[in-house]
Structure 1
Amino acid sequence: MRQLTRPVIGVISDVKPGSGHVTHGVTEKYLFAVARGADTYPVMLPGRMSDVDGSMSETAVLEEIFALVDGIFLPGSPSNVEPALYGGTPYDPPLPADPHRDVVSLPLIRACVERGVPLFGVCRGFQEMNVALGGSLHQKVHEQPGHFDHREDGTRSIEEQYGHAHEVSLAPGGLLAGLAGAGRWSVNSLHGQGIDRLAPRLAVEARADDGLVEAFRVQDAPGFALAVQWHPEWRFWQDRLSAGLFEAFGAAARAYAAQRRGDALKAAE
């Protein structure tokens, strides 16, 4: 049995070429938020695990992941989910993609939901969860009639890009409204894509004033399963809702880890 004092959170990595090599990576801000905000121990999960040498099935890979982790975090990324996965037609020229991440994250999302493994998605992770559960995406929200331009201004400083951009309305009685203690909240906005068709199992937790879904939960999931379109990892300690999201995720991971320990002890008796 593992002898760790904190729950282990698997964090999905991006897969991209660089300097003649392929790299798997996660931006530090996500790892810091998972470690400090959720009080857990993050471990990076590489993409394309099931076909590295062709010897392991998807099911076997998932079993190995679930033997290791007490929760899954899906970070944001410059890449997008492959349009073919939700019946979309790719733009020409194509938008940035990461099919090696898709091939791991989408089946992992579905398995987490079914098993009750705590699951928290941010930005791309939010979009991945919607697609994995049967929803679709707008590939360019700013081109959709009636929608705002939710992209960041790349000419501004990082601090300005991650500053508050607009408010969202929080669903009455929802998890986010409870964490915020309010019906509306100001969030940052750094995304070009967004939800077109909401997956059937998802319940809206927040919307922007243009109607775009900004947060949801999996309403019939046996465990914590929630995602937001904005970036709560950015200086989470300065924002009550952001801090509350990571604390709630960490609490769910601790409860799940305790349950696993209890089940292991019973099995050993």
Structure 2
Amino acid sequence: MSNSNSGTIHPSAQPSARKPVVLMTMGTQERKGHDYQVMTHKYITPLVEFGGCVPVLVPTCCGTDELETYLAMADGVYLTGAGSNIDPALYGQENQTPGKAQDKNRDTFDIALVQMALARGLPIFGICRGMQEINVALGGDIYQTVYAEPGFNDHRENPQDPVEQQYAPAHGVTITAGTWLERALGTQHIRVNSLHGQGLRTLGQGLEAVAVAEDGLVEAIHGPSLSPFLFAVQWHPEWQAASNPDSIALFKAFGDACRTRASQSHADRQALCA
């Protein structure tokens, strides 16, 4: 009979691997005279359900002094969409949309976050505004009014439509053959929703376009030379992700990259303690 006090742990009793921790930065929203830091539920759910990650919501209203503290606990960074535009001064332009809300605290925080996360080799996934932040952080710029640019379609939603109609598939996207995105989705053609007035113009250093809309506007970017996983899209895969196999594939891929990073970090800590 084996001795229950021998100190031997059965493999099934070993502690399970820690889920990867992913930073999600919040944005400013004013409600009845009070400033809030907010994050929409729809962005959180697929990260948890399909990415298998633990989200940590990070305020952007207190400056960047604690960025290293946040990054020290992180296995990935997830930059979501928002109702505000990036301050055009950050990419050398005058503001062409003065009636549109801005969130300069988030701009300052997220641009620094992208740069510092890449220096650490962390996986990054961006959606809509998040994709634009990545581009600006790496020296790129933006079309402030895509709908007014010759040759481009109007990619904005109708604010009068019900939300289900606003987020319905709106146009086709062509994925570049031979890219990571084609391998991840198993196709070169998908249909996506479209809820943005701005879009990428000049790509930031190290970024490559891996998907374009029917009018040629960049819809997805990849930065394989900058990080094991640096990927962003202009559409909203988080919307009803459970019913969209393409969305599920993207969140699973990001979650896998974060798990790989977490495993590497654990192995590095063990090596230091050996």
If the TM-score is normalised by the length of the shorter chain, which range does it land in?
over 0.9
Q: 2:166 & 2:99 partners in 1: Cα distance?
A: 25
The 8 Å contact of residues 21 and 54 in structure 2, kept in 1 or not, is answered as yes
Matched, 1:187 2:192: yes
Matched, 1:264 2:264: no
TM-score (structure 1 length as normaliser)? 0.92
Q: Secondary structure at the match of 1:117?
A: coil
Q: 1:93 & 1:192 partners in 2: Cα distance?
A: 13
| 2:52 paired residue number | 39
The 8 Å contact of residues 130 and 232 in structure 2, kept in 1 or not, is answered as yes
* Unpaired runs of at least 5, structure 1: 51-57
Give the 4+ runs in structure 1 shifted more than 3 A: none
| 2:34 paired residue number | 21
Cα shift at 1:85 = 0.2
The 8 Å contact of residues 80 and 97 in structure 1, kept in 2 or not, is answered as yes
- Aligned counterpart for 2:23 among listed residues 3, 6, 10: 10
The 8 Å contact of residues 49 and 104 in structure 1, kept in 2 or not, is answered as no
The 8 Å contact of residues 153 and 161 in structure 1, kept in 2 or not, is answered as yes
How well do the aligned residues superpose, as a CA RMSD in angstroms?
Answer: 1.4
Cα shift at 1:20 = 2.4
Number of residue pairs the alignment of both structures matches: 259
The 8 Å contact of residues 8 and 70 in structure 1, kept in 2 or not, is answered as yes
Q: 2:233 & 2:248 partners in 1: Cα distance?
A: 13
Higher CA-based Rg: 2
The 8 Å contact of residues 46 and 242 in structure 2, kept in 1 or not, is answered as no
Q: Secondary structure at the match of 2:83?
A: coil
Q: Secondary structure at the match of 1:205?
A: strand
Cα shift at 1:30 = 0.3
TM-score (structure 2 length as normaliser)? 0.91
The 8 Å contact of residues 167 and 185 in structure 1, kept in 2 or not, is answered as yes
Q: Secondary structure at the match of 2:168?
A: coil
Q: Secondary structure at the match of 1:49?
A: coil
Equivalent residue letter for 1:22: D
Matched, 1:73 2:86: no
The 8 Å contact of residues 48 and 103 in structure 1, kept in 2 or not, is answered as no
Superposed, which structure 2 residues align to 1:190-201 within 5 Å? 190-201=195-206
* Unpaired runs of at least 5, structure 2: 1-15
Equivalent residue letter for 2:183: G
Matched, 1:84 2:89: yes
Cα shift at 1:91 = 2.6
| 2:145 paired residue number | 140
The 8 Å contact of residues 96 and 145 in structure 2, kept in 1 or not, is answered as no
Give deviations 1:101-139, integer Å, cap 9, x for gaps.
011100111112222101000000011011110100011
